[in-house]
Structure 1
Amino acid sequence: MKRSLLLTLGLALVGGLAVLMLVSLFYTPYEPNAMKIAHRLEAPSAAHWLGTDNFGRDVLSRVMVGTQTAFLVGAASVAIGAAGGLAVGTIAGYAGRWADELLMRATDALLAFPGILLALLLVSVFKPSLSQTVLAIGILFVPSFARVIRSGVLQQREAEYVRAVRGFGAGHMNLLFVQILPNIASSIVTTAALSFSTAILIEAALSYLGLGVQPPDPSWGRMLNESQTYLAKAPWFTLAPGLLITATVLGFNLLSDGIRDALDKRV
């Protein structure tokens, strides 16, 4: 943190959002889904710090609970993408030859589709839900993790320390998981942090289009969809989820750059 301002800023933003998410698990000023039509589209006040939405629901309570959705989608989809990418990348990079060619061509096929279109395709096949959104985004991340891990394994598998350990009779599992993967951990962690912000953006886009989190559950993207009609009359309804999406994506992007700089052994 002393060496990297980016890491400090990223941790501050992400840490603040994480605290907001943890608080929302136990406390919100109001019930997030409680409708009070008589108080619809009220401006920010002492009673409702961020105003109310078109159904009279407290905007602050809903954006607080929306952090749970964002972090859940980010963490779960990155875990799926990392697990799939780890399997594909290690086999392709370590085995080489036909396995490498076959697996890399399959990942190239996935990369040929624009990310949001592929996510739309995967989600639209089944009934839109949070679980389907997580699965679709996770599958979308497999190629990026696979290529990063494959590249690292290819660079490390013929390194002198790997040859030395192999000469002492170490098995393939030891070479991969004890020797090689720890030495490419910085690339994997950086990719995970960057993918986290991408997952939040994709989830917001899918929810905005009605293919992600379904009402009445709070989602920042869904809130943007509901607020667009009232942009001139109730701008606070749009600003709250929009600013949180921006802060979250910025925080994880800064965190990704900071982690890369901090773990880069050449610096």
Structure 2
Amino acid sequence: MKRMKSYSLVLGASFVSVLFVVMLISLVYTPHPPNEMNIRERLQAPSVRHWLGTDNFGRDILSRVMVGSQTAFEVGAVSVAIGLLGGFLVGTLAGYMGRWVDELLMRATDALLAFPGILLALLLVSISKPSLFQTMLAIGILSIPSFARVIRSGVLQHKEADYVKAARGLGAGHANLIFVQIAPNIASSVVTTAALSFSTAILIEAALSYLGLGVQPPDPSWGRMLNEAQSYLAKAPWFTLAPGLLITLTVLGFNLLGDGIRDLRDKKS
């Protein structure tokens, strides 16, 4: 069992690291310009010139999935940052203040959780013109309840601990108690939630882009690439392989990483 737990952490970290390196490389180099069209080379099978083939506009698929990784990591990072900031505010206030503040904030998060995530994301994105910013904001709002619940639970668990009572007795203020005494002790739980939320953000972004409500053309997105490829499944099956596989590996990698961090935390505790 311990070996399986370590495998989750190692495999997850390996997947994420490889994809992160691909993203960094795409910032400075791609085999071809990702948006360059060449109708004469449309729907070509994988070859020495185009390692993953070309799409319906003759664009190099390898270059586009590499640049698409930038979108995936940007959406994940910004969405998680929004969710963490909002969740920390809500969860800390609810857990630390308690009473009616806790009741009010938790009922608000319950109301947000009552809506299916993808439907709420569709609603938030469709309110205004679809864009990458709208997508990140919507996914970030959706992730607030997850962070809020984890942080509230951690604050409730630690705020009556002996070391917090000792710090309070020595005259420590609320800010010191929250940020110095309590926050470091719930950091591992927050990191685990962040890893899992990262994978969810990438999956929702791919779904929104597939539906035309996320990243707008001609910018590459794995979800939009799947949408463009669906009409050519029989003629050019390689068109769907790369973006579909990358979505799967990225989501799997962050899930394994989150599970590995959680298991490591549980082992230490």
Normalising by the residue count of structure 1, what TM-score does the alignment of the two structures yield?
0.98
The letter for the 1-side match of 2:13 is L
What is the alpha-carbon distance in structure 1 between the residues aligned to residue 181 and residue 234 of structure 2?
58
What is the aligned partner in structure 2 of residue 218 from structure 1? 220
**Which amino acid is 2:183 matched to?**
L
Are the aligned partners of 1:208 and 1:222 in contact in 2 as well (CA < 8 Å)? Answer: yes
- Candidates 13, 21, 35, aligned match of 2:37: 35
Shift in Å at residue 265 of structure 1? 5.2
1:171-210 correspondence to structure 2 within 5 Å: 171-210=173-212
Q: Which amino acid aligns with 1:68?
A: Q
In the alignment, which residue of structure 2 is the partner of 1:62?
64
> Would you say the 8 A contact 1:63–1:218 is kept in 2?
yes
Counterpart CA distance in 2 for 1:230 and 1:171 is: 63
Gap runs ≥5 in structure 2: none
1:99 aligns with 101
Aligned match of 2:9: 7
Match of 1:240 in 2: 242
Q: 2:141 aligns with which of 139, 142, 146?
A: 139
Q: Paired residues, what number?
A: 267
Runs of 4+ more than 6 Å apart: none
Equivalent position of 2:26 in the other structure: 24
Q: Distance in 2 between matches of 1:106 and 1:263?
A: 29
Instruction: Report if aligned partners of 1:40, 1:52 keep a CA contact under 8 Å in 2.
Output: yes
Residues of 1 paired with 2:16 and 2:209: CA distance?
Answer: 22
Which residue number corresponds to residue 108 of structure 1? 110
TM (normalized to structure 2)? 0.97
Q: Give the secondary-structure state (helix, strand or coil) at the position aligned to 2:215.
A: coil
Distance 1:219 1:185 in 2: 32
Which deviations, in whole Å up to 9, do the C-alpha atoms of 1:128-147 show, x marking residues without a partner? 00000000000000111101
Question: 5+ residue gaps in structure 1?
Answer: none
Q: Tell me if the contact between 1:186 and 1:264 (Cα under 8 Å) persists in the aligned partners.
A: no
SS of the equivalent of 1:4 reads helix
Of 81, 87, 97, which residue of structure 1 is paired with 2:89? 87
Match of 1:168 in 2: 170
Deviation at 1:213, TM superposition (A): 0.2
Task: For residue 100 of structure 1, give the secondary structure of its aligned residue in structure 2.
Answer: helix
1:243-264 per-position Cα deviation (integer Å, ceiling 9, x unaligned): 0000000000010011112223
Q: Distance in 1 between matches of 2:254 and 2:247?
A: 11
Q: Which amino acid aligns with 1:87?
A: L
Greater shift in the superposed pair: 195-204 or 100-109: 100-109
Is the partner of 1:54 in helix, strand or coil? Answer: coil
Distance 1:39 1:181 in 2: 55
- Letter of the structure 1 residue corresponding to residue 219 of structure 2: D
| Alpha-carbon offset, residue 84 of structure 1 | 0.2
Distance 1:75 1:206 in 2: 17
Partner of 2:160: 158
Shift, 1:160, TM fit: 1.2
Identify which of 52, 55, 77 aligns with 2:54: 52
